[in-house]
Structure 1
Amino acid sequence: MKYLHICFLSVVLLGGSINLIAQKKGAVASATTKKDSASAINLDAFEFRLLGPALMSGRVFDLAINPQNKFEYYVAAASGGVWKTTNNGVTYDPIFDGEGAYSIGCVTLDPGNPNIVWVGTGEANNQRSVAYGDGIYKSEDGGKSWTNMGLTKSEHISRIVIDPANSDIMYVAAYGPLWDSAGERSIYKSIDAGKTWKAVLTVSTNTGFCDIMMDPRNSNVLYASAHQRQRKVYGFVSGGPESALYKSTDGGSTWHKLTNGLPSGDVGRIGIAFAPSNPDILYAQIEAAGDKGGFFRSTDRGASWQKQSGLSTSGNYYERIFVDPHNENKVYSCDMLIQLSLDGGQTWKAVPTKNKHVDNHVIYIDPSNTNHMLVGCDGGLYETYDNTANWNYKANLPITQFYKVATDNAFPFYNVYGGTQDNNSMGGPSRTINNHGISNADWYITTGGDGFESQVDPEDPNTVYAQSQYGGIVRYDKKSGEQVDIRPVEAAGEPALRWNWDAPIIVSQHNHQRLYFGANKLFRSDDRGNTWTEISPDLSRNEDRNKLPIMGKIWSVDAVAKNGSTDIYGQLTTIAESKFDENLLYAGTDDGLIQVTTNGGKTWTAIDNIPGVPKKAYVYQIITSVHDKNTVYVTFNHHRYGDFHPYVYRSRDAGKTWTAIQNNLPERGSAYSIAEDHMDADLLFTGTEFGIFASLDGGNKWLPLKAGLPTVAVRDIEIQRRESDLVIATFGRGFYVLDDYSPMRNIKKEDEAKDAVIYPVKDAWMFDEASPLGGYGDSKKGSMGESYFTTPNPKVASVFTYYIKDNLQTLQQKRQKAEGEKIKKGEPVYYPSPDTLLLEDQQPKPYLLFTIYDADGNAIRRIKTNAGKGLHRIEWDFRYPSGNMEEYSSDGGSSYKALPGNYTIGLHKFEDGIFTQLAAPVPFTTKALNWASLPATDKNALMAYNNKVYKLRRAVDGTYAYFQQLSDKLKQIKAAVIAAPQLPLSIATDANAIQKRIDAVQIQFNGNGSLAARQFETLPGIRDRLNTIAYGLWGNSAAPTTTYLRSYDVAEKQFTTAYAEVKSIDAAIQLLQQQLANSNAPVITGTLPNWK
């Protein structure tokens, strides 16, 4: 929960549990006036903008390198989709963003055709934050398009192997559901390139397969690793008697266990690999309880095994091994640090990891140069060319896994904070004044470790509360970079506290120095965390998690990896404070309780067993309405029990009765977060496993917000109220922001009946962007290279949101639509008449025309756009149109800026040659940011000067364009004299005299090019002087310098002379043209010949 998310219960709850009654849909009237759902309106006009960062990337779980071109490879992000590079990592492109899953377990290339790419979805790890997939995908065009090929119930796919001699034959190791039993968890075989699948090896509903490999010499020889495991919110068991190694010698028709020399009993995850240089040699890294596990080697294709050492890693997160392509004894083991053995696994040492992240998951060893490797880890992707001595970080993969997001109130641009999976807590700007946008250098670490919920003092943006795992909280000073540890510590004799992996914290709305922080108890500090007071007992159920079943049974303390990497069950997950009463606090737990106090923590009451919500469902987030004290919203997340249904609930009577409002949310997609607009009680947002949704009618109907977003989990939502920005934390693709969603407040059902609507316009800041990296135009990164990662700022502009009822169609489109309807009905379609076709060809295309008016009603800018129906957005960059048509653009000006102030925008449609008003002008305001140190103090004087420059530049550019046409005509006249021997040579003599005059005027306009080409000093021409003034003055907020003023005077004086000379030259050329017109000489371009 965050400072802006508050809770309120209006009734006094004295003790015990509240008897909850299911509320029928619509049984209790809303406390607010409901607006009808604008069900036909699509919200794709509201596009999210990526903030990044790639400062710390995210977990990379698998790689696939094109063997025919090592500069082309694919990156499987654990929860960030699939990325492709064709230039060895200079750039990466996401190629899986529109598919049904974002969590990736493996990526494999067809050995017969590297353009055929296979992706197994659902990360093949067993950590608490892994996401689930929806089967196996195939691309036949290098990732441009994808087809889901089935196994949709597997949830986690760990490996895909393809017969190099026959690409139709392939095998999939389906790990199966992590949080539940059943699902698809077998070795599957296809003999038709994935069209159909057959389970060829199945163990049980609790055991899936974490790996499969194929002998490169004989594709019928297969090895598979079975792993029995299950995780719950309260515990984890990473092994059992069903974990084992299997081998098939007949293409999967039959299998037998490999047991000779391998541990028996309860076994965990088994990582397997063969030596490419000698596939008779196999390696197995086995997780097991006690000292049974370790590193094993076989020299006879698995018939017998010898334990080499006790090295084993966590089956929760690692247990993958990689063998050098040319050295059968050189083996790498993925672990927190990469372990290396040079003697076949007998001894190990950690490889150098200077300036490299830890927690390694995949290693690619270049077969042509084994000193060259790629390593995917929790921190992203690293590359070494000197056998791990030094590492190059790929700082352009924005796949950070954020758990939570918070914003501050910094001016003029707020900052965004949050915590990440294994990549610290951090902060950075929502936008910058720089034209290159936001770079990795703009972000900063606020505390280390796994990062989690952050909060910021609403009155002091330099005071940030940042977290690491299990309640490790610091007070971070943004100004100095200092960190102060402020975690509450148990008093002497007190039992140990239980902290959530992501402990909840809020800043009080009643006192910005007051904090609330949750373990299994709630703590309060009134001095920014220097001292803490315990204000609750244990608010959880306080159950013994070791008495709860996993895989249908109670496991002993000696079970494999029992409860590894699992929260100690029974702690707070979300807390909030009432906007209306500082004594009213609200909390939720990981074991399904909602707790409330109305007296500042003296007594607490539990809310349990909400109808329709599974018992003990994880209470992920609670907010209460800022509009109505009795309205409460809760999201429950039950995916850690294998239930992926979204649970979003609302109470309008302070928790007495509840209504499910998930309604049309996708059935498969757990709900994490919810937010309520601070100005419209009916405008809600909810974040789910596969995206974010908005409701315009209080939860009756949800509309996807998908523009600009990949398929990804939205773990948290923050509304930056001052800006009406929607900021989200995605778990695998970083932070995103929807700039100014405020028009959603005004979208109504009745809008659908109107021809057009322009929605209220947010005030816009006017400023000029800086260019700290140099460069201009599309080269805003200067000379930093394409790998330099940046994300875009919003445009410096006023943004207008509008709705159009119908497409404006041409006659041709209308005819084609009518013909299409006839074809559907089986009616004949006749050929149009020639007159009809001629009318269609001559009809101009329709369009929309927006006009911006100043405060006096003067039209100062027009913006032309396509005439598509639905919601759209356009921008005005505050500039007047160019006076030069060669520089003119409908969507961007190249002239001076308008003054800050009040404006209106109106809308017309152009159809069949006629302009018709669609919407009356709507007012809006622009404001100067005043960020410059030496801005012009007299804005009106600056405006007058800019206008003067504009007029002179317009005249100069127009005259020069006309002058160039005269020069071209003169060239044609001189050529015509040669082509028409009947013409007197005196015309050529006169033309040559005019040419000298043209050459002199050319120098007046552009300076002496002859001298400049020979490196002589030269005076600026008229155009150079004006361009220097325009480009120098129109790109900043300063007043004109004295140099500009003087240069303008010179240009104006010189142009007066040049203008008169151009008119005289024009008259002289017209006389020559007339002589040519009276003869049979070739016609000069732009001359109307005499006729009769």
Structure 2
Amino acid sequence: MSSGGEGSALYKSKDGGDTWELLSDKEGFPKGILGIIGVTVSPLNSHRVWALVESEKGGLFRSDNGGTTWKLMTDDRSLRQRAWYYSRIYADTEDEDKIHVLNVRYHQSIDGGKTFKKYATPHGDHHDLWIAPEDANRIIIGDDGGAQVSYDGGSNWSVYTNQPTAQFYRVTTDNHFPYRIYGGQQDNSAIRILHRSSGRYITEDDWESTAGGESAHIAVESNNEVVYGSSYLGFLMRIDHRSEEVRNINVWPWTPVGHGVEDMKYRFQWNFPVFISPHDDNKLYVASNHLHVSNNGGESWEVISPDLTRNDSAKLVSSGGPITQDNTGVEYYCTIFAAAESPYEKDLIWSGSDDGLIYVTKNGGTDWEDVTPKDMPEWMMINSIDIDPFNKGGAYFAGTKYKSGDDHPYLYKTTNYGKSWTQITSGIPDDNFTRVVRADPNKKGLLYAGTERGMYISFNDGNTWVPFQLNLPMVPVTDLVIKDNNLIAATQGRSFWIIDDLTVLHQLTDEIANSEFYLYTPKTSYLMDGGHAAISLTKGENHPNGVMLYTYFKEKPDSSQKVSLTIRDADGNTIRLFSKDAKEKKDKWTVKDSTRLFVWDMRYPDPLKIKGMYFFWVMQNGPTAIPGEYEAILKVDDDSISTKFEIIIDPRVQATQEDLQAQFDLLIETRDKLTVVHETINDIRSVRKQIKEVNLKMDEEEFETIVKTGKSIDSVMTVIENEFYQTKNKSEQDMLNYPIKLNNKLGHLSALANMGYNRPTDQMYALKDEVFNEIDAYLKQWNTLVKNEISEFNQMVKDANIDAVSLPKKKK
């Protein structure tokens, strides 16, 4: 990287760019070599121009005559440090003496640039600003944390934690349940985050800081709590999340900040690899220009390779100049940029450097072989290496040359330990450089590639690629990892994204594609808390809670076709049937797309509900299915296809299968009993309505016995109904005034028994028996009433020959 030199100057045009006038040679402008120049013109006075100039005698300069002469306003280095990275200046839209300068901090001047005041913002490293033309108090600032808004000229700002704008360099996972995703985010901490939660969203409650810094590669021990993370300048740390103990374990504990790479004992890149052997949890690797290994958690280190880079002295110099030096580690060259040990062959390790060399060792570092592709352009940055899961000696790598102005994609594969290589980029545009390639361990030949502009997929081991963007924002994909049949993408600017189920791709065949319709076998589903809610702009989208059923239709079924999806238990009993003609709203299912995801929430049908009832804390859902084998059947008219699937329990749950069966049995019993109660209430209300309609047709004196019998029946029904449900409840909190009745007691018992995954307590069974006995007593009374009094009432009405239609009696 260089700062300044020939061609760096300031010009202006008065004719739309047809001709240009040089301004940087005018009176007062700094002489000598110039670098980057930030410039702004006051919208209130076009003769007033400011220039933030990188130069040995640089600073903030102002012209009040359109650039004819200049005056130094300040040489404050806080406005112009790391000039190439900042040098942003903006004229205010309502005050010609006010300007805004962006750097690490945000600065304002109200005296034309003579003095500046620093304003606190939610984040540092500022790069862009917008000031409303009609209201200069309304500002949007862009920084390494995202974007924030101010309505009072910069004194107060909105937050940046409400936007998924993280820039992740790499991604890895652990074996925790639910597994966690790890990554270092640009100018923010390294974090780990649950890939699914027990709530409705992924929120900040599911995140925590972890080892490393913004540029971290991260490695996690098999205990899921000891984490190693890197950062720039060779920084390396170990954190034990169980005790929150932190330890620095730099390979060489000297910081070269401000020094050129030539002063480093070992050359560590900004984003240097860190990984644990898949064969030995105690073996930790890190890469500089050498590969280092520790067998004691970083207590000591051993170099197990020669220099695996070109070690070109022309590249091993301080970055920057001739004006400004800038050495943060990003600019260090001739380093190992990617490395991996094969999980399938012990001691087989690959390395790739940022100056275009591929090495391999088959004996844990004792001997190394340069296997760089002969026809690969020189000075390629090897950005990722992945091991072929199906071929011994197979590997893939992604390279980039965009830093040399070459945006071509470069993906390669070998099947013979690097003796020969094949370039595999057909289908990826020539101007879309590649950052990462990963092989799916569960489907031979299935590859995923992350590029500067989105995602690609190959079903034939890289022979051809097609876009795989779906709903992923069109941003750089910096890294990919496959975990539990999920695909996780690290992006620059849109945080982490996940495809929750790759098993559909694993099953995909030409036969399926040519079939009229198909039901894919769902992946194994967990019985656990949490679930999917409506998309939020400020929260992460959670994993669906249920069985993910994918259907495929060659053509969308027309309205005349009968399409249904049935769920059955292991004994063939129907649990749910979903179709467009279903009576219950929850059971309605319509095919809208050729490939459609349907998530069965694992629930059995709900108890019967009565509109307008008010309860205190009841369960009105059907119970969830217990772990076991189930069957799904997709039917189109008279044709059908079925598949088996499995539900398993959250591995953190300690309940046995017998415990879960007992819980399910209790919830089914209470659901069914509640349905009977509500059916009875509906029957009572129907009978009451009919008796009332009959009585209205009769003269009370003429048919005194019938009328009295009807009223007597109604009084008994009222008692039963009022014991089943608190009929005085007319609003959400009326039950605090009027005691709850049997259906609420039953529903509340279900709610309590449904908490967690446990065998019901003895007292739950006791209360169930008590409530059931009370309900049964009133049901017996109701059945007697139906059999006797209501039957007699019907006969009396028949004998009286009451007209079906009659006019109301007129008053005399």
Query: Equivalent residue for 2:684?
Result: 963
Question: Is 1:906 paired with 2:607?
Answer: no
Question: Is 1:597 paired with 2:365?
Answer: no
> Shift in Å at residue 436 of structure 1?
2.7
2-structure distance, mates of 1:685, 1:402: 18
Alignment of 1:997-1008 (within 5 A): 999-1007=718-726
Is the contact between residue 316 and residue 333 of structure 2 (CA under 8 Å) also seen in structure 1? no
Alignment of 1:409-808 (within 5 A): 409-410=175-176, 412-433=177-198, 435-447=199-211, 449-457=213-221, 459-489=222-252, 496-545=265-314, 557-558=321-322, 566-611=330-375, 613-720=376-483, 723-769=484-530, 789-808=538-557
Query: Equivalent residue for 1:298?
Result: 63
Query: Equivalent residue for 1:1032?
Result: 752
Could you say if the C-alpha distance between residues 933 and 940 of structure 1 is closer, same or farther in structure 2, counting changes exceeding 3 Å? closer
- Note the alpha carbon deviations across 1:1018-1054, whole angstroms, 9 max, x for none: 4433322232233333454331513344233323323
Could you say if the C-alpha distance between residues 938 and 371 of structure 1 is closer, same or farther in structure 2, counting changes exceeding 3 Å? same
Which SS does the other structure have where 1:644 is aligned? strand
Query: Equivalent residue for 2:48?
Result: 281
> Shift in Å at residue 761 of structure 1?
3.2
2-structure distance, mates of 1:373, 1:640: 34
- Note the alpha carbon deviations across 1:368-426, whole angstroms, 9 max, x for none: 8867654321112345567656654232101101110010011x211110111111211
Alignment of 1:54-203 (within 5 A): none
Is the contact between residue 3 and residue 321 of structure 2 (CA under 8 Å) also seen in structure 1? no
Is the contact between residue 586 and residue 595 of structure 1 (CA under 8 Å) also seen in structure 2? yes
What amino acid is aligned across from residue 531 of structure 1 in structure 2?
A: S
Unaligned runs of 5+ in 1: 1-234, 549-554, 771-776, 781-785, 811-844, 911-915, 1084-1092
Is the contact between residue 1022 and residue 1055 of structure 1 (CA under 8 Å) also seen in structure 2? no
Query: Equivalent residue for 2:643?
Result: 922
Query: Equivalent residue for 1:408?
Result: 174
Query: Equivalent residue for 2:126?
Result: 360
1-structure distance, mates of 2:801, 2:423: 87
Could you say if the C-alpha distance between residues 336 and 660 of structure 1 is closer, same or farther in structure 2, counting changes exceeding 3 Å? same
> Shift in Å at residue 1005 of structure 1?
2.9
Question: Is 1:858 paired with 2:573?
Answer: yes
Is the contact between residue 270 and residue 329 of structure 2 (CA under 8 Å) also seen in structure 1? no
> Shift in Å at residue 977 of structure 1?
7.5
Question: Is 1:1050 paired with 2:784?
Answer: no
2-structure distance, mates of 1:846, 1:444: 51
1-structure distance, mates of 2:337, 2:53: 35
> Shift in Å at residue 934 of structure 1?
7.7
Which SS does the other structure have where 1:952 is aligned? helix
What amino acid is aligned across from residue 272 of structure 1 in structure 2?
A: V
Query: Equivalent residue for 1:6?
Result: none
Could you say if the C-alpha distance between residues 991 and 240 of structure 1 is closer, same or farther in structure 2, counting changes exceeding 3 Å? farther
Query: Equivalent residue for 2:671?
Result: 950
Query: Equivalent residue for 2:585?
Result: none
Could you say if the C-alpha distance between residues 243 and 1044 of structure 1 is closer, same or farther in structure 2, counting changes exceeding 3 Å? farther
> Shift in Å at residue 1001 of structure 1?
4.1
Is the contact between residue 340 and residue 349 of structure 2 (CA under 8 Å) also seen in structure 1? yes
1-structure distance, mates of 2:396, 2:71: 58
1-structure distance, mates of 2:507, 2:775: 51
Could you say if the C-alpha distance between residues 849 and 332 of structure 1 is closer, same or farther in structure 2, counting changes exceeding 3 Å? same
Query: Equivalent residue for 1:73?
Result: none
What amino acid is aligned across from residue 1081 of structure 1 in structure 2?
A: S
> Shift in Å at residue 997 of structure 1?
5.0
Unaligned runs of 5+ in 2: 256-261, 580-588, 612-618
- Note the alpha carbon deviations across 1:471-511, whole angstroms, 9 max, x for none: 32211212233321112118999953222121012211221
Could you say if the C-alpha distance between residues 968 and 1008 of structure 1 is closer, same or farther in structure 2, counting changes exceeding 3 Å? closer
2-structure distance, mates of 1:282, 1:1069: 99
1-structure distance, mates of 2:526, 2:558: 36
- Note the alpha carbon deviations across 1:705-743, whole angstroms, 9 max, x for none: 3334221221111122xx222222111111122223133
> Shift in Å at residue 968 of structure 1?
4.5
Query: Equivalent residue for 1:377?
Result: 143
**RMSD (CA atoms):** 3.8
Is the contact between residue 42 and residue 96 of structure 2 (CA under 8 Å) also seen in structure 1? yes
Which SS does the other structure have where 1:1052 is aligned? helix
> Shift in Å at residue 268 of structure 1?
2.7
What amino acid is aligned across from residue 281 of structure 2 in structure 1?
A: H
Which SS does the other structure have where 2:543 is aligned? coil
What amino acid is aligned across from residue 681 of structure 2 in structure 1?
A: Y
Could you say if the C-alpha distance between residues 564 and 668 of structure 1 is closer, same or farther in structure 2, counting changes exceeding 3 Å? same
Is the contact between residue 316 and residue 564 of structure 1 (CA under 8 Å) also seen in structure 2? no
Could you say if the C-alpha distance between residues 870 and 545 of structure 1 is closer, same or farther in structure 2, counting changes exceeding 3 Å? farther
- Note the alpha carbon deviations across 1:498-541, whole angstroms, 9 max, x for none: 22121012211221111121111221111122211112222211
Which SS does the other structure have where 1:403 is aligned? coil
Question: Is 1:246 paired with 2:24?
Answer: no
- Note the alpha carbon deviations across 1:55-90, whole angstroms, 9 max, x for none: xxxxxxxxxxxxxxxxxxxxxxxxxxxxxxxxxxxx
Is the contact between residue 847 and residue 866 of structure 1 (CA under 8 Å) also seen in structure 2? no
- Note the alpha carbon deviations across 1:953-977, whole angstroms, 9 max, x for none: 2222223233334444456557777
- Aligned residue among 863, 875, 881 for 2:599: 875
- Aligned residue among 773, 795, 806 for 1:1081: 806
2-structure distance, mates of 1:591, 1:516: 20
> Shift in Å at residue 1061 of structure 1?
4.2
Is the contact between residue 895 and residue 1034 of structure 1 (CA under 8 Å) also seen in structure 2? no
Could you say if the C-alpha distance between residues 933 and 645 of structure 1 is closer, same or farther in structure 2, counting changes exceeding 3 Å? same
Could you say if the C-alpha distance between residues 542 and 965 of structure 1 is closer, same or farther in structure 2, counting changes exceeding 3 Å? same
Is the contact between residue 768 and residue 1035 of structure 1 (CA under 8 Å) also seen in structure 2? no
1-structure distance, mates of 2:787, 2:160: 62
Which SS does the other structure have where 2:169 is aligned? strand
Is the contact between residue 423 and residue 448 of structure 1 (CA under 8 Å) also seen in structure 2? no
1-structure distance, mates of 2:756, 2:455: 39
Query: Equivalent residue for 2:563?
Result: 848
Could you say if the C-alpha distance between residues 1028 and 384 of structure 1 is closer, same or farther in structure 2, counting changes exceeding 3 Å? same
Which SS does the other structure have where 1:404 is aligned? coil
TM (normalized to structure 2)?
A: 0.85
- Note the alpha carbon deviations across 1:928-968, whole angstroms, 9 max, x for none: 22645788964444333333222222222223233334444
Could you say if the C-alpha distance between residues 285 and 872 of structure 1 is closer, same or farther in structure 2, counting changes exceeding 3 Å? same
Which SS does the other structure have where 1:680 is aligned? coil
> Shift in Å at residue 239 of structure 1?
5.2
> Shift in Å at residue 990 of structure 1?
7.2
Could you say if the C-alpha distance between residues 241 and 698 of structure 1 is closer, same or farther in structure 2, counting changes exceeding 3 Å? closer
Which SS does the other structure have where 1:1003 is aligned? helix
